[in-house]
Amino acid sequence: MDGFELNKIAGAVLTAMLVIASGKTVMDIGFQKHKPEKAGWALPVTEVKAKTAEPEAAFDAKAVVALLPKANADNGLDVFKKCMACHTPDKGGRNLVGPNLWGVVGRKIATAPGFNYSDAMKGHPGTWTWEELAKYLHGPTQAVPGTRMQFPGVKDNTDLADLLAYMRKLGDTPAPLPQ
């Protein structure tokens, strides 16, 4: 056999294989009784749910207040640094964009002397209990719709409890802890 013969044989074999293979495919398609459940291979991939797609869990102010007795006021001071752009914490401190916060825990809402509150805040009844503070500082505009405090809120419950533990010190006597 010369090279040309070999090529012809190889060509014939390849052609035969091609015909068989494509014939099998045609038969597969033709005789397939039911479609596979899913197209392609089932790869072992676990679906990761996008975090942002989940609705924010309902905020539980009582759960934050429950953390307060063991909260870390030093970390709370760190959290409070965000507030200092608008609030002074010291006794007799000035009102800035927001009112001075000395003695705010347990104080009647919207009563820092000389501060011009929004109508929303003036219309919000009651005093700053731990729970009211937790709600307002978690989501200011949700707790007091129309408030002028431009702050997104402290979303981490531990940080929020720590912040309250720090604010507890802003008074002549520390505000009583929750029972």
Q: Given the rule CB under 6 A, which residues bind ligand HEC?
A: 82-83, 85-87, 97-99, 101, 104, 109-110, 112, 117-118, 120-121, 128, 137, 147-151, 154, 163
Q: Which is nearer to ligand HEC, 66 or 151 (CB)?
A: 151
Shortest spacing between CB 161 and ligand HEC, in angstroms: 13
CB of 78 within 8 A of CB of 164? no
- Least distance between ligand HEC and beta carbon 36 (Å): 55
Listing DSSP states for 5-26 in one string gives HHHHHHHHHHHHHHHHHHHHHH
Beta carbon nearer to ligand HEC, 67 or 163: 163
| Residue (21 or 97) nearer to ligand HEC, CB | 97
Structure tokens at 76: 């709370």
The candidate with the shortest Cα–Cα distance to 149, out of 121, 107, 177, is: 121
Q: Are 132 and 120 in contact (CB under 8 A)?
A: no
Closest distance of CB 154 from ligand HEC, Å: 5
* Residues with Cβ within 8 Å of residue 96, at least 6 apart in sequence: 85, 86, 87, 88
| Residue with Cβ nearer ligand HEC (22 or 116) | 116
